[in-house]
Amino acid sequence: MTSGERRDVVVVGGGHHGLVAAAYLARAGMSVQVLERLPRTGGAVAPADPFAGRWATSVGALPDRLLGELGLDLELRTGPAEPDVPDAERAAWDRWLADTGQLADAVRTTLLDPLPLERDLRARVDPDVWRDLVVRPLGETIEERFRDDGVRGLAAVGALSAGAVSLHDPSLRQNRAFLDDLLQRSSGRRVPVGGMGTLAAALEGTATEAGAEIRTSAGVSRIDAGDDGAEVTWDGPDGAGTVAARWVLADVAPWVLEILLGHGEHPETKPVGAQVTVDLRLDHAPAWHSGAPPTWLASGYGQLTAAYDATTAGVLPDPVPGRLEPTDDPAAWTFHGLLTPATLFDADPDAGRAMVADRVVAELGRHLVGPVRADAQVSLPQDVERELAMPGGHPLHGDPEWPWAGNRARLDTPAQRWGVQTDIASVLLCGAGSRRSGGVSGVAGHAAARAVLEAAAEAR
Ligand SMILES: Cc1cc2nc3c(=O)[nH]c(=O)nc-3n(C[C@H](O)[C@H](O)[C@H](O)COP(=O)(O)OP(=O)(O)OC[C@H]3O[C@@H](n4cnc5c(N)ncnc54)[C@H](O)[C@@H]3O)c2cc1C
């Protein structure tokens, strides 16, 4: 057991947000230890593996300014465009793009600042846009604005990208997920040249160059925390250790953090991810009935609604809606399935994988000319959870919140102002489960680092 070590900051989890936080803090002169349970860093931002589409395939709301501040020399190329819409819906769709773009732009300019107040953000957006995207259930807006079932579906899919939710849910979970997805996508699907792994490698390089120490294969099993500091215990194949720190940044999901803090495991609050990934290998490059590959499968509004209804009845949707993504190999495709909550597969994951594979291959077959044999490798939310310790396989560590502070929110501490606070002053969130996520964005890691630096300055 290694013990007696002390750092200014320990980062629990070396996902991309954790690496961003470590890089900013080490560059500011703090001593930083990152502890990562896997043998590699990056979390869901992973190097390509034989299962091509298993992890994040594009960057999200990653601000160019963050790349510049960290000196990351990454070239991002933009992926395939979203599908076109029929002429009859053209004007409504253009208005949709303008309105959603307006909200996304207003939020995007705040992502590297302390949380804006809701009223300040609202003042920057047309009142009708705010009402349609923030105040009322997204399903109402979509049904009012579009008549075409396919266009309605296209407008709705972003809301279903994280969890299985009704488009009419009065809690507006779907609107919050929609906004998070919008922030991820509104600059197009951007992919680093060289693959997603180059982003993690660049972040790790920047953090270590600045002096951060990164220990992989070190799973944190416990955090003993008080308001003035904490002690973190980790285990690895070569032994165990403890390290004390003034601040602990949690790149693990808030639900996992509660367990590490000794507050127990609460199944009723566990996030439920609802995405499956299917790697499809065809026996030859396919020809498509419509002349071009579809971007979405089974994503008509009626199909999405029926799929959601199936999930509430505990049944796998048939067909499974989702996005079809090309790879560099014309015979290999990745399918990102929606509305497939982890709970559907708890009883028998193997049977679940087989059923997902059958349904996706059958639906794909409807778009292909002639017979094609396809091997399908399926990753369930359970697989994501097992590999990354993302609870319920939820890609955002839990349902997203609005990326602003309520008008009466307490904003007394730097952590509160940056949206990364927990109930313990020495422990801050720094990952996707903090208030601002944006997928692969680095925004949460930046926010946590800025909160620590401000708290340190206030203490001097
Ligand atoms: C399958 C999938 C596809 C996705 N696709 C996209 C996409 O295309 N575009 C996009 O923008 N977003 C995508 N996302 C979402 C995005 O990748 C994540 O929200 C983001 O990467 C989360 O980053 P993070 O650093 O907060 O956490 P993570 O990436 O989850 O990293 C957390 C790290 O903590 C480690 N850890 C966990 N427990 C412990 C412990 N006890 N001790 C030490 N370390 C621990 C984990 O091993 C992991 O490395 C996807 C997510 C998934 C799961």
pLDDT tens digits, one per residue of 56-83: 989 999 999 999 999 998 999 987 777 7
137 lies in the same domain as 176: yes
pLDDT tens digits, one per residue of 227-265: 999 999 999 998 999 999 999 999 999 999 999 999 999
Dihedral sign for Cα atoms in the order 292, 296, 302, 307: positive
The response to whether residue 381 sits with its C-beta less than 6 Å from ligand 1 reads: no
Q: What is the pLDDT of residue 238?
A: 84
1: confidence class by pLDDT, cuts 50, 70, 90: low
Q: How many Cβ atoms sit within 10 Å of the Cβ of residue 184?
A: 25
2: confidence class by pLDDT, cuts 50, 70, 90: low
352: confidence class by pLDDT, cuts 50, 70, 90: very high
CATH number for the domain including 17? 3.50.50.60
- Total structural domains in the chain? 3
Residue 85 in domain = no
Residue 10 in domain = yes
Judged against a pLDDT cut of 80, whether residue 321 lies above it is answered with: yes
The continuous run of DSSP H or E covering 219 comes out as strand 219-226
222: confidence class by pLDDT, cuts 50, 70, 90: very high
241 lies in the same domain as 324: no
Rg (CA), the chain: 22
276 lies in the same domain as 264: no
339 neighbors 320 (Cβ within 8 angstroms): yes
Q: What is the mean pLDDT of residues 377-405?
A: 96
Residue 188 in domain = no
The response to whether residue 277 sits with its C-beta less than 6 Å from ligand 1 reads: yes
Q: What is the mean pLDDT of residues 172-179?
A: 98
Distance CA 81, CA 95 (A): 18
Distance CA 207, CA 26 (A): 7
Shortest-distance atom of ligand 1 to CA 387: 47
345 burial type by CB count under 10 A (0-12 exposed, 13-18 middle, 19+ buried):
buried
Q: Given ligand 1 and candidates 66, 251, 277, 377, which is best to mutate, with the most ligand atoms within 8 Å of its CB?
A: 251
250 lies in the same domain as 101: no
Shortest-distance atom of ligand 1 to CA 184: 11
Q: Nearest to residue 17, comparing CAs of 254, 250, 272?
A: 250
16 lies in the same domain as 57: yes
Range with the lowest mean pLDDT among 132-136, 211-215, 274-278, 283-287?
Answer: 283-287
Judged against a pLDDT cut of 70, whether residue 351 lies above it is answered with: yes
81 burial type by CB count under 10 A (0-12 exposed, 13-18 middle, 19+ buried):
exposed
Q: Which of 157, 183, 209 is the last residue of a domain?
A: 183
Q: What is the mean pLDDT of residues 151-173?
A: 96
The response to whether residue 185 sits with its C-beta less than 6 Å from ligand 1 reads: no
In this structure, which amino acid lies at residue 148? Answer: D
Q: Nearest to residue 172, comparing CAs of 183, 159, 162?
A: 159
The response to whether residue 60 sits with its C-beta less than 6 Å from ligand 1 reads: yes
Report CA(391)–ligand 1 centroid distance (Å). 10
355 lies in the same domain as 311: yes
For residue 32, give Cα distances in angstroms to 38, 102, 157, 215.
18, 38, 39, 11
241 lies in the same domain as 263: yes
389 lies in the same domain as 405: no
302 burial type by CB count under 10 A (0-12 exposed, 13-18 middle, 19+ buried):
exposed
The response to whether residue 11 sits with its C-beta less than 6 Å from ligand 1 reads: no
The response to whether residue 440 sits with its C-beta less than 6 Å from ligand 1 reads: yes
Distance CA 227, CA 244 (A): 13
Q: What is the pLDDT of residue 3?
A: 65
Q: What is the pLDDT of residue 52?
A: 64
Q: Which of 354, 374, 393 is the last residue of a domain?
A: 393
418 burial type by CB count under 10 A (0-12 exposed, 13-18 middle, 19+ buried):
buried
**What does the mean pLDDT of the chain come to?**
95
The response to whether residue 233 sits with its C-beta less than 6 Å from ligand 1 reads: no
Distance CA 149, CA 303 (A): 9
Residue 84 in domain = no
Q: Given ligand 1 and candidates 252, 258, 377, 387, which is best to mutate, with the most ligand atoms within 8 Å of its CB?
A: 252
261 lies in the same domain as 276: no
Residue 237 in domain = yes
Residue span of the structural domain in which 198 resides: 2-79+193-269+401-459
141 lies in the same domain as 227: no
Give nearest CA residue, ligand 1 atom 6: 56
Residue 301 in domain = yes
Distance CA 313, CA 307 (A): 10
419 lies in the same domain as 446: yes
Q: Which of 356, 372, 393 is the last residue of a domain?
A: 393
14: confidence class by pLDDT, cuts 50, 70, 90: very high
339 lies in the same domain as 276: yes
Q: What is the pLDDT of residue 99?
A: 98
Range with the lowest mean pLDDT among 15-24, 208-217, 326-335?
Answer: 326-335
The response to whether residue 203 sits with its C-beta less than 6 Å from ligand 1 reads: no
328: confidence class by pLDDT, cuts 50, 70, 90: confident
Residue 222 in domain = yes
